[in-house]
A and B are shown apart, each in its own frame.
Chain A
Amino acid sequence: MANLKNVTKKTKAQEMGMHTEVLTGRTQQKFFNPDEAENFYYFGTYDVDFNKRTDLDVKDMTAPEANKEIDNLMSQGYGTIVIKNPQGKHSLGVGILNKLNLIFEGSLGYFGMGSCDGPIVRINGRVGWSCAENLMAGKVVIEKNAGSCFGAAIRGGDLICKGSVGARTGIDMKGGTIIIGGDAGAFTGFMMQRGRIIILGDVGINLGDSMYDGTIFVGGEIGSYGSDAVDSELTSSDQDWLKRKLKVAEIGENFDVSKMKKIVAGKKLWNYDNLEPTEKKGAI
C-alpha cells in the first residue's frame, strides 16, 4: 500500500506557498483488490434477488415518493423493478447504491439516475438533462435520445445512449465510458479528466474543449476541435477495445471502428496530476 506520509516531493505550487497539502502523482494510484471486496459496501444497501421481479406505476407519484418506493422494494429483496409511466418526471432513480436491475417503461426528465453506484438500468424512452450525473459504477442504457450534460462528472460505469445527445456530453467526467449511437452536440467532453467517450455519429463544435485527459472516439464528422483537443493515433488495441465495448453496448455491431478518429488532450493547458480527495483517502 502506498504510504503518502513518506512522500516528500514538493510541487512548484507548494514551494510557492499556494497550499500545504501533500499532493501526489499518478504513480500513487491504488487499484481495486478483489481480496478486499467485502470491505466495499454502502451502509443501508440490500441483498436483492434479480429473479424477484415487480412493477411500480409512478404515474401518480412525485419523484421522492417513487424513489422511496424503489428503496422499499429493494429492502424486500426485489432485484428487478419495472417502472411504469415515468412520463418525463425529474430525478427518478437517483441515489441507488445497490445492485439492481431497473427498467423504465418510458421517458425520464432531468437528473434521472443521478449519483448511482451499481445498478443496471434500461430506459425505454428518452432522458432529459444531466442523466446519470456522477455515476460511480453500473450500466445505464437509453433506447432513444438524451438531453444535454449527459453523463456529467461520471466516475465509472457504462452510460449508453442509442440515439442522439445534446450539448456538453461527458462534461467534467472522471472515469467510465459514454457511448453514443447517434450524434452529439457542442462541447462534448468539455473539461473531461478521465474516461472514454465513443460517438458513432457526428459531433458538434468545440469537441473536447479544455480536456485534461481521457479519450474521445468519433465515427462521424467533427464540427470543430476545442482548446487543447488534438488527434491521436488509433492503435490496434484501441480498435479491439472499441469492438468489445460496442458489442457490450449492443450498438454499432457492423460499425467499422478502424475509421474512427481518436481525440486526446494536447496537454498544453495541462495542470492536472493529482488524485481526488476520496482516492487519496482510500490510498492512505
Chain B
Amino acid sequence: MCGIAGLIHRGKSSNVGSELQGMLQALKHRGEDSTGYALYGDTDGKHFIMRFKVGENVGEGSSSVMEDVSVYDERKKIVDQTLAELGAKVVKEERTLPYSLRYEIDYDVKDLLNFSQTIESIPGVEILSMGKSLEVIKDLGNAKAVCDRYSLDKLIGTHAIGHARMATESGVDIKSAHPFWGYPFSDVSVVHNGQLTNYWNNRRALENKGMRFMSECDSELIAVYIAQKMREGASLEEGMKDSLTGLDGVFTYFVATKDSLGMAKDTMAAKPLVLYESDDLVAMGSEEIAIRSVLPQEIDTYDPFDGEVKVWRI
C-alpha cells in the first residue's frame, strides 16, 4: 500500500511545496519508508535544473550499503569533470546532503539521452530529474521529514505530484523511491500506486530500444513506458491511454510535464483515487484526507472510473 497525491493550479502559482507536503503527510499511514516530491517551480526557463545523487541514504531502515562520504566527494568530482567535457556549465550548485545535489546548468541541447547516459555511466551516480522547472526530491522518511530535510516548504510553482511509499517489491532506498523521472525527457515525472505484473517482459523490450532502468521497482516501468511512447511520437495522453492495455496489473498513476498533469486508472479500478476539480485547481490523492489538507471546507469530490485517463493543463 502506498499513497499518491498531486495538484495543479491553473492560471496562477502557489506554494506547491508546502501544499504537497500537507497532502502526503495526511497519507503517511499508507507508507513512510520513503517520500518523494516532483515539484514544478517558477523559473526563468533559461537553465536546466539537475537533481542527482552520488550515493544512498544509509540511515535507519535503509537497505543500502554504507559508503564513506569521501566516495561521494570523488563521484561529484567526476560528475563535474564530465559536465565540463559535455560543454555544460554549472551556474549554481547546492549540496543539500552529502549524497544529494542540485545543479543549475547552462546547456543547449534538446536530446538528453546522450547527456544522461554519460552522467549515469559514472558508478553510483543517478540523475533524479532533469528539466527547466521539474525538481524531483526523494528520500527516506515521511513527508514532513523529507520536506524539512530539503527545505521544500517555500517552493513556489504551478503543479506537483508526490508519493508516500511502503516498500513491498524492492528495497528501502532512494533509487526505488518515487517519483521517477521520465528519462530522457525534460520535465516528465511519474508516481504510481499498485503492482505491475508484466514488468520484466516490458523492461526487456524497452531496454532493447535503448531505455534505461535504474531500479528494480515496477513503478519505474510506467515512466519509461510513457517516455518511450512519447519518443515514438505519441502525446502524453495517447501514451497514457496506451498504457491501460500495455501495462498489466493494478495501478493508479500520475504523470506530470512542465505544463500538465495527468492521471490513469487501470481497467479493474483496483487502486483508489479521489479527485477534486474546479476551474482554478485540481487536487487528487489516494484518500480524501489528502485533498482536505489543502481544501478543508466542504467540497465535491469523486472517484474516477475504471480505465479512465484525464489530463489537465496549467
Contacts and interface: CB of A to CB of B under 8 A. Distances in A.
Nearest to B308: A185
B292 A185 contact: no
Given A163-B302, A185-B303, A148 B287 contact: no
A185 B270 CA distance: 11
B139 to A, nearest CB: 27
Interface string A82-110: 00000111100000000000000111011
A148 B272 contact: yes
Contacts of A168: 269
A64 to B, nearest CB: 14
A65 to B, nearest CB: 16
B87 interface: no
A91 to B, nearest CB: 12
A186 interface: yes
A106 B298 contact: yes
Interface residues of A, number: 30
A128 B288 contact: yes
A187 interface: yes
A146 B301 CA distance: 9
A239 B299 CA distance: 36
Given A128-B287, A185-B269, A87 B302 contact: no
A166 B270 CA distance: 10
Contacts of A185: 269, 303, 305-306
Contact of A129 (B267, B268, B272, B300): B272
A218 to B, nearest CB: 15
B302 A88 contact: no
B306 A186 contact: yes
A113 to B, nearest CB: 15
Nearest to A145: B302
B269 A186 contact: yes
A166 B298 CA distance: 20
Given A107-B301, A128-B274, A88 B306 contact: no
A283 interface: no
Interface of A: 87-90, 105-107, 109-110, 125-126, 128-129, 144-148, 163-168, 183, 185-187, 204-205
